[in-house]
């Protein structure tokens, strides 16, 4: 038995808490989770059903924590977890699951299967069975501060570009600001217009905000790969920056898992409550709208629909806010079937997009999103996650669907009411 395998097995054992034991005990083997998962529905491969993915964890639970399992182990009966098994399961646990949570919603006995897959990843990672792409991203997150290797000078260059465009300063390291805005590396690298959008919106609404030069990264590779110690370290960096800057709120940007990491897992990971509140950017924008601080003009005439990022809607509960915001700027909005909490995943979350080996599979999973889109035939697809955005663009391109993909925050920024112009027009 290799040292890493032994470490992995011990980690699996540590993952079995009361909820996990209850979930395994209460599974009725109905198979309903299968039909909730796009990696099963779009491949028809029975090994890709959600409950199959947690089989290593189930075997350890059975052998270590049930009477029958212990007896079986004593007499050499029952199936043990082997290194070969974990090798086989690596593609199921990482390539075939985005941690989207749809299986957990559908389970008739209320088992949070996603929670179990997340815990299975802990054992997989420590036994040396995690994808190269995620290992690289996690290593960079720890050593550089960004899974994509984005360093402060790069962010500063993007900020200078935005400042030149807008003609005013983007606040960095402003002590006592109300809000600390986090950014994902995807936004800094691929969609820097998001920085411009939030700067314009906050200027318009009079929001006191800042970016931290010490902890600007929102994403958390530790969550995706399944190493809680690393996830906790990344959360601590944000907490330290927020505390030093004395902010009241931390804003999670248009990134799905970042929101889960900082808002829902964050305090548990570091073992104490935050001294600040965490809000998703869409929650804040909707609050500003509701308070009359965010005023828009004009509407998009194109037929728009909205893709709910799983971690923001299903796992995070931010469902109504994007619709309130879209109502302000979309004249022709249409809902996809299963929209909201039961929306279908784009196919690229949970580290799948960082895993090149999973490319074919993630585009297969996208076929379910394609079906949803075909039912409503939109001209443009709005979302609020940079990772979803790239996957949606990729899937649409792959399937030759002529639909534009837009960021909700950026649309709001484009429709901000020009108050100076409005005042000039008043009699």
* Residues engaged in binding other proteins (CB under 8 A): 133-134, 136-137, 140, 147-150, 153-154, 157-158, 160-161, 164-165, 167, 185-186, 189-190, 192-193, 221, 224, 301-302, 348, 351, 353-356, 379-380, 386-387, 390, 393-394, 397, 400, 402, 404, 406, 410-411, 414
Smallest distance from other proteins to CB 72, Å: 40
221-243 per-residue burial string, b: 16 or more CB within 10 A, e: under 16:
bbbbbbbbebbbbbbebbbebbe
End-to-end CA distance of the chain: 83
Q: Which of 46, 36, 82 is nearest to 63 (CA)?
A: 82
CB of 140 to other proteins, least distance (A): 6
Please state the closest distance from residue 26 (CB atom) to other proteins, in A: 35
In the complex with other proteins, which residue's Cβ is closer, 104 or 158? 158
- Shorter beta-carbon distance to other proteins: residue 7 or 357: 357
Looking at the Cβ atoms of 63 and 220, the one nearer to other proteins is 220
Q: Name the pairing type of β-strands 330-333 and 380-383.
A: unpaired
Cβ proximity to other proteins, 81 vs 312, nearer residue: 312
On whether the CB atoms of residues 213 and 240 are closer than 8 A, the answer is: no
Token pair for 219? 């994403």
C-beta pairs of 14-17 under 8 Å, 24+ apart in sequence? 14/122, 15/57, 15/119, 15/120, 15/122, 15/123, 16/57, 16/60, 16/61, 16/64, 16/65
Taking the complex as a whole, how short is the minimal distance between the CB of residue 317 and other proteins, in angstroms? 23
CB 381 within 8 A of CB 307: yes
Q: How many residues does the chain have?
A: 427
User: 161 or 248, CB closer to other proteins?
Assistant: 161
Closer to other proteins by CB, 178 or 379: give it. Answer: 379
Residues 408 and 306: beta-carbon distance below 8 Å: yes
Closest CB 163 distance from other proteins, rounded Å: 11
CB of 330 to other proteins, least distance (A): 13
**Residue listed under structure tokens 């032994």:** 6
| Beta carbon of residue 102, minimum distance to other proteins (angstroms, whole number) | 20
Nearer to other proteins, 29 or 164 (CB): 164
Q: Which is nearer to other proteins, 248 or 299 (CB)?
A: 299
Closest-CA residue to 10 (of 94, 127, 176):
127
Location of structure tokens 């004009």: 298
Whole-number minimum distance, CB 285 to other proteins, in Å?
Answer: 16
Per DSSP, the three-state class of 204 is helix
Q: How far is the CB of 150 from other proteins (least distance, A)?
A: 6
> What six digits make up the tokens of 38?
């796009």
The helix/strand/coil state of 212 is coil
Q: Which is nearer to other proteins, 140 or 248 (CB)?
A: 140
Sign of CA dihedral 191, 193, 197, 200: positive
Identity of the residue, 83 or 414, whose beta carbon is nearer to other proteins in the bound complex: 414
Q: How far apart are CA 183 and CA 155, in angstroms?
A: 10
The three-state secondary structure class of 147 is: coil
Min dist. Cβ of residue 378 to other proteins (A): 12
Can you list the positions of beta strands (E) in 129-201? 179-181
């Amino acid at each position: 038995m290799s040292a890493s395998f032994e470490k992995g097995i011990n980690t699996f054992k540590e993952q079995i808490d009361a909820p996990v034991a209850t979930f395994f005990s209460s599974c009725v083997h109905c198979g309903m989770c299968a039909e909730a998962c796009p990696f099963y529905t779009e491949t028809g491969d029975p090994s890709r059903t959600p409950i199959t993915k947690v089989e290593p964890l189930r075997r350890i639970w059975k052998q270590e924590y049930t009477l029958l399992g212990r007896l079986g182990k004593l007499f050499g009966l029952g199936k043990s977890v082997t290194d070969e098994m974990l090798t086989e399961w690596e593609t199921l646990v990482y390539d075939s699951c985005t941690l989207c949570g749809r299986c957990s919603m559908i389970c008739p006995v209320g088992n949070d299967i996603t929670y179990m897959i997340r815990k299975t990843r802990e054992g997989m990672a420590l036994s040396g069975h995690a994808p190269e792409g995620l290992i690289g991203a996690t290593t960079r997150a720890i050593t550089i501060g960004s899974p994509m290797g984005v360093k402060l000078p790069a962010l500063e260059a993007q900020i200078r570009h935005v400042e030149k465009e807008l003609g005013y300063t983007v606040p960095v390291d402003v002590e006592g600001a109300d809000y600390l805005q986090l950014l994902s590396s995807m936004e800094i690298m691929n969609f820097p217009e998001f920085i411009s959008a939030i700067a314009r919106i906050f200027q318009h609404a009079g929001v006191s905000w800042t970016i931290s030069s010490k902890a600007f990264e929102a994403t958390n590779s530790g969550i995706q790969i399944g190493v809680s110690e690393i996830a906790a370290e990344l959360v601590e960096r944000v907490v330290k920056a927020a505390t030093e800057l004395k902010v009241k709120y931390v804003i999670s940007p248009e990134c799905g898992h970042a929101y889960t990491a900082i808002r829902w897992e964050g305090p548990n990971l570091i073992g104490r409550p935050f001294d600040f509140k965490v809000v998703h950017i869409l929650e804040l924008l909707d609050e500003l709208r509701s308070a009359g601080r965010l005023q828009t003009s004009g509407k998009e005439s194109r037929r728009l629909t909205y893709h709910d990022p799983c971690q923001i809607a299903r796992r995070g509960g931010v469902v109504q806010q994007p619709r309130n915001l879209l109502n302000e700027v979309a004249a022709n909005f249409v809902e996809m079937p299963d929209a909201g909490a039961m929306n279908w995943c784009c196919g690229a979350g949970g580290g799948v997009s960082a895993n090149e080996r999973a490319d074919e599979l993630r585009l297969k999973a996208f076929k379910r999103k394609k079906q949803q889109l075909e039912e409503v035939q939109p001209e443009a697809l709005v979302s609020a996650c940079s990772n979803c955005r790239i996957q949606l663009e990729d899937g649409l391109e792959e399937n030759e669907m002529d639909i534009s993909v837009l960021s909700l925050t950026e649309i709001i920024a484009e429709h901000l009411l020009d108050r100076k112009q409005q005042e000039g027009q008043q009699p």
